[in-house]
Protein backbone atom coordinates (compact mmCIF):
# COMPACT_ATOMS: atom_id res chain seq x y z
CA UNK A 1 0.00 0.00 0.00
CA UNK A 2 2.78 2.45 0.87
CA UNK A 3 4.71 1.86 -2.34
CA UNK A 4 1.59 2.30 -4.48
CA UNK A 5 0.80 5.59 -2.73
CA UNK A 6 4.39 6.76 -3.18
CA UNK A 7 4.28 5.94 -6.92
CA UNK A 8 0.99 7.81 -7.34
CA UNK A 9 2.31 10.87 -5.53
CA UNK A 10 5.60 10.71 -7.46
CA UNK A 11 3.80 10.49 -10.82
CA UNK A 12 1.56 13.42 -9.88
CA UNK A 13 4.56 15.52 -8.85
CA UNK A 14 6.50 14.70 -12.03
CA UNK A 15 3.42 15.48 -14.13
CA UNK A 16 3.01 18.86 -12.44
CA UNK A 17 6.73 19.57 -12.89
CA UNK A 18 6.51 18.63 -16.59
CA UNK A 19 3.52 20.93 -17.12
CA UNK A 20 5.36 23.70 -15.26
CA UNK A 21 8.40 23.26 -17.54
CA UNK A 22 6.17 23.45 -20.62
CA UNK A 23 4.47 26.62 -19.38
CA UNK A 24 7.83 28.22 -18.49
CA UNK A 25 9.12 27.18 -21.90
CA UNK A 26 6.21 28.88 -23.64
CA UNK A 27 6.80 32.05 -21.63
CA UNK A 28 10.59 32.08 -22.20
CA UNK A 29 10.50 31.08 -25.89
CA UNK A 30 10.22 34.63 -27.31
CA UNK A 31 13.45 35.67 -25.56
CA UNK A 32 16.53 36.39 -27.71
CA UNK A 33 18.04 33.04 -26.72
CA UNK A 34 15.16 30.56 -27.06
CA UNK A 35 15.77 28.37 -24.02
CA UNK A 36 12.02 27.83 -23.99
CA UNK A 37 12.35 25.14 -26.65
CA UNK A 38 14.61 23.16 -24.33
CA UNK A 39 12.19 23.55 -21.41
CA UNK A 40 9.26 22.47 -23.58
CA UNK A 41 11.18 19.45 -24.86
CA UNK A 42 12.23 18.27 -21.42
CA UNK A 43 8.75 18.87 -20.02
CA UNK A 44 7.13 16.99 -22.86
CA UNK A 45 9.50 14.02 -22.51
CA UNK A 46 8.76 13.85 -18.77
CA UNK A 47 5.05 13.99 -19.52
CA UNK A 48 5.31 11.17 -22.08
CA UNK A 49 7.25 9.01 -19.63
CA UNK A 50 4.88 9.54 -16.70
CA UNK A 51 1.49 10.19 -18.28
CA UNK A 52 1.27 8.73 -21.80
CA UNK A 53 -2.55 8.76 -21.54
CA UNK A 54 -2.51 12.54 -21.21
CA UNK A 55 -0.28 12.87 -24.26
CA UNK A 56 -2.52 10.41 -26.15
CA UNK A 57 -5.50 12.64 -25.31
CA UNK A 58 -3.62 15.69 -26.65
CA UNK A 59 -2.69 13.81 -29.82
CA UNK A 60 -6.28 12.72 -30.33
CA UNK A 61 -7.64 16.21 -29.72
CA UNK A 62 -5.15 18.12 -31.91
CA UNK A 63 -4.30 16.12 -35.02
CA UNK A 64 -1.74 18.74 -36.11
CA UNK A 65 0.10 17.99 -32.86
CA UNK A 66 -0.07 14.25 -33.61
CA UNK A 67 1.41 14.78 -37.08
CA UNK A 68 4.29 16.80 -35.61
CA UNK A 69 5.03 14.08 -33.06
CA UNK A 70 5.07 11.43 -35.81
CA UNK A 71 7.59 13.52 -37.80
CA UNK A 72 9.63 14.02 -34.65
CA UNK A 73 9.69 10.26 -33.91
CA UNK A 74 11.58 9.66 -37.15
CA UNK A 75 14.36 12.10 -36.21
CA UNK A 76 14.85 11.25 -32.54
CA UNK A 77 16.99 8.48 -31.06
CA UNK A 78 15.18 5.17 -30.74
CA UNK A 79 14.93 5.23 -26.93
CA UNK A 80 13.08 8.57 -27.06
CA UNK A 81 10.96 7.62 -30.08
CA UNK A 82 9.90 4.46 -28.23
CA UNK A 83 8.48 6.59 -25.41
CA UNK A 84 6.60 8.75 -27.91
CA UNK A 85 5.13 5.66 -29.60
CA UNK A 86 3.52 4.70 -26.30
CA UNK A 87 1.26 7.72 -26.71
CA UNK A 88 0.46 7.11 -30.38
CA UNK A 89 -3.28 7.30 -31.05
CA UNK A 90 -3.25 5.07 -34.15
CA UNK A 91 -1.27 2.28 -32.50
CA UNK A 92 -3.55 2.45 -29.45
CA UNK A 93 -6.66 2.04 -31.61
CA UNK A 94 -5.09 -0.82 -33.59
CA UNK A 95 -4.33 -2.75 -30.39
CA UNK A 96 -8.01 -2.80 -29.30
Q: What does the pLDDT read at residue 96? A: 44
- pTM of the full structure: 0.73
**pLDDT tens, residue by residue, 9-57:** 999 999 999 999 999 999 999 888 888 889 988 998 898 888 888 888 8
**Three-class HEC string of the chain:** CHHHHHHHHHHHHHHHHHHHHHHHHHHHCCCCCCCHHHHHHHHHHHHHHHCHHHHHHHHHHCHHHHHHHHHHHHHCCHHHHHHHHCCCHHHHHHHC
Same domain, yes or no: 57 and 43: no
Q: What does the pLDDT read at residue 68? A: 87
Q: Give the chain's domain count.
A: 2
In a domain, 29, yes or no: yes
In a domain, 96, yes or no: no
Same domain, yes or no: 2 and 31: yes
Domain with 42 in it: 1-48
Same domain, yes or no: 44 and 1: yes
In a domain, 59, yes or no: yes
Among 68-72, 81-85, 88-92, the minimum mean pLDDT is found in 88-92
Same domain, yes or no: 40 and 67: no
Amino acid sequence: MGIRLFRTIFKAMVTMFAILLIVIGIIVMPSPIPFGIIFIGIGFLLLVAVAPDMVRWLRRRWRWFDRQIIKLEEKLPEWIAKQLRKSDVERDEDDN
